Amino acid sequence: MSDLYVEDPLTFWCNNYGLGSAEVVFLGIPFDGTSCFRVGSREAPNRIRTMSYNLETYSELCRKDLKDLKMLDYGNVIVSPGDTGESMRRIKETVADISGKFPVIVGGEHTITLPVVQSMLRKYPDLHVLQFDAHLDLKNEYAGSKFSHVTVMRRLVEILGKKRIIQVGARSFSAEEREFSRKNNILKSLERLPGFGFKGPVYITVDMDVFDPAFAPGVSTPEPNGLDPGEFLETINSMKNQMDVIGFDVVETCPPYDTSDVTSLLSAKVIMEMLLALKK
Ligand SMILES: [Mn+2]
C-alpha cells in the first residue's frame, strides 16, 4: 500500500521513524489522578497532537526544521485510573523502554515528572532538573499524600539533592515552600538563567502554568502574572549551547478548560521550538 497521500493525525506532527532508528521519542502520559483544582489534563496528549498539525515544521527562531529530526510518537502510557503508585510504576517502565532516545514527555499532570526522572537517573546518575512552573510544588504532603503534583519537586529534591534542581517562574506558594526554596537556593528568575552553569545532563520540565493565563488559560491551576511565551522561547534558544539537555516534559495543559485550543496549540509550539533548540 502506498502511504504517499496519507498521514496519521493521532500522532505528533513529523512522526516518521520506528523505535530502532528514532532519536526523539514523543510519549503521552494521560494521568491526572492527583489534580487538586481543575481536572482534565489527561486529555492533553491527544489534543496537543491534533494541534501540532497546524504548525509549520520550520522554526525561524532556530533556523531548523522538525522534518530533519528522526522522531517517533510512541503513543500513550496506559495509566491505572485512581492508582497513583501503579501508574508511576508503569511510567517508569515505559520510559526505561525508550532509554537512549531523547524523550519528549507530554502530560498529564506534574506528578509524572517524578517517575520519568527516576527512570532517567539509571542512564544519567548525575541528572539535573530545570523546572519552569508558576508553583514550587515543594509541599511535603498534600491531602494526606506524599505523591501529587503539589509535592513532586519536594520528592525530586530528596532524590537529587538541592544542587541539582533549579526553579524558574514561581509566583504561587506557601510560606513554608518559600522558606524551603530559599534555604536550598533553588529559585531563580528567568533573567538570571542564561549564564547559569549546569555541570551535567539537564532534564527540563515545563508546567504550562508558568505562562500568563492570557497566553495559557487552559491549565489545571492558572496563576496570573506569568511569563510571556516569546521571552521563554528566546531564553531557551539563547541557552542551547550552555546546557546538555537530554529530554524534557510539558505538563498540566487542561483541554476541558482551554479556550479555542490556545493552550494546546502553545504546548505544541513549545514542544517543537524546544526540540529544535535543544536536541543535539
Ligand atoms: Mn507544577
Q: Alpha carbon of 17 to those of 45, 64, 72, 74, 121: distances in Å?
A: 19, 18, 5, 10, 26
Give the Å distance between the CA of 135 and the centre of ligand 1: 6
pTM for the full model?
0.96
232: pLDDT strictly greater than 60:
yes
195: pLDDT strictly greater than 80:
no
For 51, other C-beta atoms within 10 Å of its C-beta total 23
Give the Å distance between the CA of 132 and the centre of ligand 1: 8
Q: Give the confidence band of 189 by pLDDT, cuts at 50, 70, 90.
A: confident
Q: What's the rounded Cα separation, in Å, for the pair 155 and 96? A: 20
Give the Å distance between the CA of 149 and the centre of ligand 1: 6
20: pLDDT strictly greater than 80:
yes
Look at residues 275, 277, 263 and name the one whose alpha carbon lies nearest to residue 234: 277
Residue 50: predicted pLDDT: 96
Q: What are the tens digits of pLDDT across the range 118-131?
A: 999 999 999 999 99
Residue 23: predicted pLDDT: 97
Q: What are the tens digits of pLDDT across the range 43-93?
A: 999 999 999 999 999 999 999 999 999 999 999 999 999 899 999 999 999
Q: What's the rounded Cα separation, in Å, for the pair 44 and 49? A: 8
Give the Å distance between the CA of 244 and the centre of ligand 1: 23
Q: What are the tens digits of pLDDT across the range 133-164?
A: 999 999 999 999 999 999 999 999 999 998 99
166: pLDDT strictly greater than 80:
yes
Range 232-248 average pLDDT: 94
Give the Å distance between the CA of 124 and the centre of ligand 1: 23
Give the Å distance between the CA of 203 and the centre of ligand 1: 15
Give the Å distance between the CA of 148 and the centre of ligand 1: 10
Give the Å distance between the CA of 68 and the centre of ligand 1: 31
Give the Å distance between the CA of 131 and the centre of ligand 1: 8
Residue-range domains of the chain with CATH:
24-278 (3.40.800.10)
Give the Å distance between the CA of 3 and the centre of ligand 1: 40
Give the Å distance between the CA of 222 and the centre of ligand 1: 11
For 198, other C-beta atoms within 10 Å of its C-beta total 15
1: pLDDT strictly greater than 80:
no
